[in-house]
Structures are given as C-alpha cells and as structure tokens.
Amino acid sequence: DADVTQTPRNRITKTGKRIMLECSQTKGHDRMYWYRQDPGLGLQLIYYSFDVKDINKGEISDGYSVSRQAQAKFSLSLESAIPNQTALYFCATSDPPRTAPGELFFGEGSRLTVL
C-alpha cells in the first residue's frame, strides 16, 4: 500500500460544484502539503500544514480551502469549481527538519477536470 494515498484519483465535475480531494498518510509525518500541476508546467504550492493546528497559504490559495482533520489526513476543497482549476493535484508529506532537513514524499496524484 502507498504511504501517501489520494482519493479520488480521477474526477470529472461541472462548473460550480463543490469538490473535495482527500489525502491520508501512514508515514507518521507532521507536515502535509497540497500542490497543483497544470499540463506541461511545474508544481505550485496551494496550502501546507506543519501540524494539526497549523495551516498556511502557499502560492496559489485563492479558490481553495483545506482541512487538517488529523495528523494523517489533509483535505483540499474547491468550494465552487471553475474550468481553470482543471489540473493534476498532488499531496505530499515530510518530517520536520531535526538534524537534517526533511524531504517530500508524494502521493500518486488526483486528476481533476472541471467542465
């Protein structure tokens, strides 16, 4: 089983619908991240959370919200989806840096299409 699991893996929805992408991890990491990737481009950071009570905006948070339900779960919501939110979404986790900086571990991605 994957250490970082994203659901759903694929979703097609219509403009204006509310969508939730879920991420769960079994790595025991405190830090979790949501990224968006448009076709042919790099990853953009949407939100990140360093622990259950900590939520931070990334580069492109407008139109998105998140919820950190537990250490292992971090959900991304699109309250009213629009076509330019069509993208591949990645969840990632990391450990806090202690003696060495943490590295990111990614899920397999959730492909969202908004019609």
Q: How far is the CB of 80 from other proteins (least distance, A)?
A: 26
Angle at 40 between CA 36 and CA 44, to 5 degrees: 25
DSSP 97: P
Most distant CA atoms of the chain, gap in Å = 47
Part of the chain binding other proteins (CB under 8 A), chosen from 14-22, 66-74, 77-85, 94-102: 94-102
Q: How far apart are the first and last CA of the chain?
A: 32
User: 42 or 70: whose CB is closer to other proteins?
Assistant: 42
Q: How far is the CB of 83 from other proteins (least distance, A)?
A: 20
- 112 bridge partner residues: 11, 87
By CB under 8 A, tell whether 55 contacts other proteins. Answer: no
Can you give the binding site for other proteins, defined by CB under 8 A? 4, 33, 35, 37, 41-45, 48, 58-59, 88, 90, 92, 94, 96-97, 101-109, 111
